[in-house]
Amino acid sequence: MIKISNLEKYFTTQEYKTIALNKISFEVKKGEFVSIMGPSGSGKSTLLNILGLLDDADGGSFIFNDEEVVNYKERQRAYIRKHNIGFVFQSFNLIDELTVFENVELALIYTGIKKSERKGKVDEVLERMQIMHRRSHFPTQLSGGQQQRVAVARALVNEPKLILADEPTGNLDSKTGNEVMELLTELNNQGSTIIMVTHSEHDAKYGNRIIRMLDGEKVTENLLSNY
Amino acid sequence: MIKNYFKLTWRNIKANKVLSFLNILGLTSGLFCFLLIYLWISSENNVNKYHENNDTLYSAYLTTTDGAEYGYGTPSLLYKELKEKIPEIEGVTAMSNNNRNYTFSNNKKVLKQNGKYVSEDYFNMFSFNILEGNASTALRNPNDIAISKDMAELFFDNVKSAIGQTLTFENSKALKITMVFELGSKNTTEKSDFYLSFDSLLAENSWMSDWKNFGTYTFVQLTKGADVKQVEQKLKLFLKDYVGAFAIELQPYGDSYLYADLENGSGKIEYVRLFGIIAFLIMLIASINFMNLASAGSMKRAKEIGVRKVLGAGKNSLVVQFLGEAILLSLSSLFFALIFIALALPIFNQITDKNIDLANLPLSTWVMVLFITLFTGILSGSYPAFLLSSFKVTDIFKKKIETSSITKLIRKALVVFQFTISVVFISCMFIISKQIDYVQNKDIGFERESLLAVTLSEDLQKNYNAFKTGALQISGVRSVTKTSHILLGEYGTSPEVIWNGKSDEDGSLFTGMVGSADFIKTYGAKLHMGRDLIHNNPDNIEYLINESAMKQMNMENPVGQTISFWGNSGTIVGVVKDFHFSSLKESIFPLVIRSEGYAEFSTAFIKYNSDNVQQTLASLETLHTTLNPAFPFEYKFMDSEYNKLYKSESTFYKLSTFFSILAILISCLGLFGLVMFTAEQRTKEIGMRKVVGASVFAITALITKDFIKLILLGIVIGVPIAWYFMNKWLANYEYRIDMPWWAFVNTTALIIGIALVTVSFESIKIALVNPVKSLKSE
């Protein structure tokens, strides 16, 4: 599904050029659950942003679903994003002024799905995330775990081929964190491809494979289980 | 999607109450001013243009062939000659130059009503809502009168029963009511209760038939399709055979209101233009506010933009969203602005002497209002829309969006611009008020205080001597005189003054009036040489002239010399020092005052003691009623009449004060919002500074300093601009103040004061926050 080779990313300030990703290469197959680990500043989040087509690379190749996307323009990337990728963030990134239902619905609005269809899809995914009883609440009225469920629901509602999670349990207590991880595992079991960035060894073990990074390079790859 | 935007906009408004309040209040105030001025301007632009024949109606005016003098006053017989001799003229009407009060009575009532004389074509040329009677024949006979519906209802049971009835005019002759018209709510300067036959006025005043007397207005209606240029060509030489070196020119009747200053091709249009600029600038200030507040507040919206982008929103859809929000906000501001306008219109109409009614606006005005509002929304929304939608998702989530230096510069420039405008407005306001004050309190050469003008109606003119004797016996009365004119306002001018040594080519114009004994004593004017008028004897005519007339006649010692005015030869008995008998915008014209003469135009002037005025007035009324029982006692205070000369200036002053205050208010709203966001952005810095020991004062000063710099820059730019414009404005006045430097000092102090209060309020609040809190917010 994803194949990156020699991917590079620099950050330049007036005096320094920092290498965020140093010719990194790996492959993720359909249905895999890959955890990416590494200390702060190792380039995990930068990598995830490029994989999610939120940022562009400075060199190398990125093949997504058999398409070379590394030189895509913002419009093309937005198209791939909304049809193929779901995002889950550490800080949930829900829009405070929209209700649970409306936050999830937003993803469908941008893909141009009709109103009548949207309601069914949103309710279905909220049901699945066991957050249906909160559908008319605003994010600030929810607990952290509930907010992350909503974020996951939003990531799932378009039935994306790929889910990208950036430290999804980072803002949660361990019990709630485990619940979210169970949820991701379940999604993976149902066929979703997941790439997750995490600091937590515990969480990383929910995946099939752990990629460890340091200073913008892949250091090791451990296969935990076959999928 | 649209519904989603609406929802989000509404919830954003609710979530950011202060910001939204500032935004809506700013835009509402801006739209309020703009629309109010727009309504006023469109009303001004349409004054007197509602006549069906508007396209073919013209006001005639005269110029001397050397182009030195201009005026609407024309010979009274002109209308008859024009109609006979110029085939392109379909209708002509003469009009007595000013509305006057006359006494009307029937067996029920005796009332003063205000109106004028017009000739027969009048009602055919100008559109009136005629309730009864026939426009073509209404003033055919000398004793016909056309009256308004209001006047008909004052004297009769109803409009229908008024037709054919008679009213006694000035207790002397019976007039037959031939027509009843309705003034309605037309946008007109023509507000007469009645119209009398101009021919009867001519018949009763033979001097008016003198072609050298330019006291009558003439209006013409050209035939459809007639070439104005061609007609004007014919008119240029028309007067040659009658009066010599004067040309008749035509001005579209609808333009006469705004372009009455014929010499400069301007007039009230100057105010229309000025207010147009003010409206535009206020709207600009309000839009800038919106831009600044929205772009400064964008940090709060960053997450939302990020999420939308992640979910696949393109730049266009975000631009549309933010523009939509701006338009929605401006529409709600329009709603509030309209409510305020509806509330303010009664006072506004009163100040501006208008009759604007929101319920009666034409569709085109509403379309324009909506268009302006949408335009404002787009103008104000475009900058934040493009700014916000250009944020990069990765920067947003890394909390790395920093305001670019260009954005910061633009924001600063906008603040400077706002305050520049405010400085210009406020210093102009100070200077205009000073000039108006100067004009109203200037020594104009006669004492207008404690001076009463009493109308001398028919009977009282005959009994003037008895009235004067009686009045002087009242303890509060100091002196009494009578003149043909009230000494403030429009006069006819005439070249018909003849003196020894006047050359044949000398066409100098003089203002003439008729005075009587105690002229100088009562007016409190000063004698340059000679004496006051003493005799009121037609066989022994005395003349007073002013210094300007003396200069014009090139006489060194005019006292004792013989002059003749309108064919009445007499002796100059005195020279009065120049005094202002019209607006201070005009220089003092050569003036000749003749003793005795046509009695009909008389007004008595009474100098009274300022204490116990009510008692004096009551005694005068008693005296008046005894001598003149058929007429009501009518008087005017000269000082308040004088102030009326500057009505448009004081209206302008009142309105510009109001708009200046609003402009500074709107600017401060924006400033307040900006400080709020600057403080928010610098929370961490402020916390750190406090940790290392900065005082509340130091923090407040830190934030305040940056803003005060911008405001000072606004002042530095604004002062010369205000100076330039005010210098030009003051040049309109023949008599004016020196540019008051203190106006700029006051403006600076005022604006800095207001800005300091605005900025400090929020910065002190931030400075007082516990540093732990400031640091935690990171």
Question: Is B303's CB within 8 Å of A93's CB?
Answer: yes
pLDDT at site B768 = 80
**CB pairs < 8 Å spanning A and B:** 63
CB contact under 8 A, B303 and A95: yes
Q: Of the segments A73-82, A177-186, B310-319, B377-386, which one has the largest average pLDDT value?
A: A177-186
Burial of residue B236 (CB within 10 Å: 0-12, 13-18, 19+) is middle
Percent of chain A with pLDDT over 90: 35
Say how far apart CA B744 and CA A158 lie, in whole Å. 64
The chain B residue lying nearest A90, using CA atoms, is: B397
Q: Low-confidence residues of chain B, pLDDT below 70?
A: 1, 68-69, 298-299, 399-403, 458, 489-492, 597-601, 771-778
Give the chain A residue nearest B316 (alpha carbons): A75
Q: What is the dihedral of CA B686, B691, B694, B697, to 10 degrees?
A: 60
Q: For chain A, how many structural domains are there in total? A: 1
Q: Which domain holds residue A104?
A: 2-223
Task: Determine the distance in angstroms separating the CA of B394 from the nearest CA of chain A, rounded to an integer.
Answer: 6
Q: Does the CB of A136 have a partner CB in chain B at under 8 Å? A: no
CB B678 within 8 A of CB B766: no
Residue B307 amino acid letter: V
| Candidate from A52, A93, A102 with C-beta closest to B306 | A93
Q: Could you say which of B4, B304, B312 has the minimum Cβ distance to residue A82?
A: B312
Of B306, B311, B315, Cβ closest to residue A106: B311
Q: Which of A52, A93, A111 sits opposite B307 (nearest CB)?
A: A93
CB contact (8 A) between residue A87 and residue B309:
no
Task: Report how many helices (DSSP H) and strands (DSSP E) chain A contains, helices first.
Answer: 7, 10
Contact of B487 with B479, CB cutoff 8 Å: no
Whether chain B has a CB inside 8 Å of the CB on A84: the answer is no
Query: Cα dist. B366→B41, B187, B242, B340 in Å?
Result: 14, 18, 52, 16
Could you please report the per-residue DSSP string of B620-680?
A: HHHHHHHH-TTS---EEEHHHHHHHTTHHHHHHHHHHHHHHHHHHHHHHHHHHHHHHHHHH
- Average pLDDT of span A45-72: 89
Q: How is residue B470 written in tokens? A: 């009686």
Mean pLDDT value across chain B:
85
Enumerate the residues of chain B whose CB falls inside 8 A of the CB of residue A74.
Answer: 314-315
Residues of A whose CB is below 8 A from B1: 109
Beta strands in B106-222 (DSSP E): 110-118, 129-133, 144-148, 166-169, 173-182, 194-197, 216-222
Quote the pLDDT of residue B778: 41
Chain A: give the shortest CA distance to residue B332, in Å.
20
C-alpha distance from residue B767 to each of B17, B518, B706 (Å): 22, 75, 15
Q: Rounded to whole angstroms, how far apart are CA atoms B341 and B356?
A: 11
Contacts of A54 in chain B (CB under 8 A): 309-310, 393-394
Nearest to A78 among B12, B303, B312 (CB): B312
Q: Supply the pLDDT for residue B311.
A: 84
Q: Which of B14, B311, B317 to substitute to test the interface with A, most A CBs within 10 Å?
A: B311
Q: Of the candidates A148, A143, A24, A163, which has an alpha carbon nearest to the alpha carbon of residue A81?
A: A163
Region for A98 from its dihedrals, namely left if φ exceeds 0, alpha if ψ lies in -120 to 50, beta otherwise? beta
Whether residue A78 and residue B308 make contact (CB cut-off 8 A), yes or no, is no
Q: How confident is the model at residue B255, as a pLDDT? A: 92
DSSP string, A14-80: SS-EEEEEEEEEEEE-TT-EEEEE--TTSSHHHHHHHHTTSS--SEEEEEETTEE-TT--HHHHHHH
Surface-to-core class of residue B621, CB atoms within 10 Å of its CB (0-12 exposed, 13-18 middle, 19+ buried): middle
Q: Which residue of B has its CA nearest to A157?
A: B311
Q: Does A76 touch chain B (CB under 8 A)?
A: no
Output the pTM of the full model: 0.77
Q: B315–A54: do the CB atoms touch at under 8 Å? A: no
Beta carbons of A102 and B4 less than 8 Å apart? yes
Residues B248, B239 contacting (CB under 8 angstroms): yes
pLDDT tens per residue across span B595-609: 876 555 578 899 998
Q: Test A75 with B314 for CB contact under 8 angstroms.
A: yes
Residue with tokens 């963030």: A89
| Higher per-residue pLDDT: B216 or A91 | B216
pLDDT band at A197 (very low <50, low <70, confident <90, very high): very high
- Tens digit of pLDDT for each residue in A198-223? 988 999 999 999 999 998 888 888 77
CA distance A207 to A216: 21
The H-assigned helical ranges of B508-575 are 519-523, 547-552
Q: Which of these, B485, B481, B560, lies nearest to B520 by C-alpha position?
A: B481
- Tell me the per-residue pLDDT of A93-147, one tens digit each, with 9 for 90 and over: 888 888 999 899 988 888 888 888 999 999 998 998 889 999 999 998 999 889 9
Q: Which of A55, A97, A110 sits opposite B312 (nearest CB)?
A: A110
Any B CB within 8 A of A98 CB: yes
A164 reaches B (C-beta below 8 A): no
Single-letter amino acid code for the residue at B163: I
Q: Does A97 touch chain B (CB under 8 A)?
A: yes
Nearest to A97 among B1, B15, B311 (CB): B15
Could you give the CA distance from residue B26 to residue B668 in angstroms, rounded to a whole number? Answer: 9
Measured CA distances, B675 to B401, B423, B754, B763 (Å):
19, 20, 14, 7
- The CATH code of the domain that includes A83 is 3.40.50.300
